[in-house]
């Protein structure tokens, strides 16, 4: 997968102009690396960019990507239980039943203010997946990420020096009680006891 031989751009989330460039790239259905509230993620606007994201990650058609959304966007996609809504924003990804009754979506409302601004300005949720090829270990160091993906994505947004190395906690809210799918950064024990 080539980035049309253009030099990938390295942006810094705290610098002026980065938010606007990030939103513009996502609006153009580009896949970019973003510092999420957990680890770095390969991200793209929900919609047609999904196929590009699958191609970059070498991921099959059947495994869905999680979605980052504002609380309002999450409510437009899924049935959001009150206890999950009260926990957000945080590093908790919840598998929720879709509003249209057709399947489920794994959604997270991130606690990161930069991501919240991106989602608000974009006006749509974004796919997010760990930075790696399917079946391989997740890359969490930005230098390694840039080296590995510089020919595949047009931009990398660098987060803080202490960018996370632990994924979000993943729970399945379609079961009663909820089921822990992946233990991660968020302590979901109070949600799992209900």
Query: Which domains are delineated in the chain?
Result: 9-184 (3.90.870.10)
* More reliable by pLDDT, 61 or 123: 123
Tens of pLDDT, residue by residue over 134-163, are 888 888 889 999 999 999 999 999 998 777
The confidence score (pLDDT) of residue 163 equals 77
Taking the C-alpha atoms of residue 164 and residue 166, their distance in angstroms, rounded to an integer, is 6
The confidence score (pLDDT) of residue 45 equals 97
The confidence score (pLDDT) of residue 106 equals 97
2 confidence band (pLDDT: 50, 70, 90)? very low
Of 63-72, 90-99, 139-148, 161-170, which range is least confident? 161-170
Tens of pLDDT, residue by residue over 28-38, are 999 999 998 88
Q: Does the pLDDT value for residue 88 go beyond 90? A: yes
The confidence score (pLDDT) of residue 94 equals 98
* More reliable by pLDDT, 2 or 79: 79
The confidence score (pLDDT) of residue 194 equals 53
């Amino acid at each position: 997968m080539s980035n049309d031989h253009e030099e990938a751009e390295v942006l810094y989330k705290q610098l002026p102009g980065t938010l606007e460039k990030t939103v513009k790239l996502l609006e153009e259905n580009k896949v970019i690396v973003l510092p999420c509230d957990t680890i770095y993620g390969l991200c793209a606007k929900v919609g047609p960019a999904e196929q590009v994201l699958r191609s970059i990650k070498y991921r099959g058609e059947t495994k869905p990507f999680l979605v980052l959304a504002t609380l309002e966007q999450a409510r437009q996609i899924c049935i959001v239980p009150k206890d999950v809504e009260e926990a957000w924003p945080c590093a908790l990804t919840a598998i929720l039943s879709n509003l249209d009754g057709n399947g489920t979506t794994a959604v997270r409302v991130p606690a990161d203010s930069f991501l919240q601004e991106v989602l608000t300005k974009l006006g749509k949720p974004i796919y997010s997946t760990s930075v790696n090829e399917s079946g391989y270990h997740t890359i969490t160091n930005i230098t390694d990420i840039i080296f590995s993906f510089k020919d595949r994505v047009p931009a990398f947004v660098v987060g803080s020096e202490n960018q996370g190395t632990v994924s979000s906690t993943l729970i399945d809210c379609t079961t009663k009680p909820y089921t822990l799918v992946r233990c991660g950064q968020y302590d979901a024990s109070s949600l799992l006891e209900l």
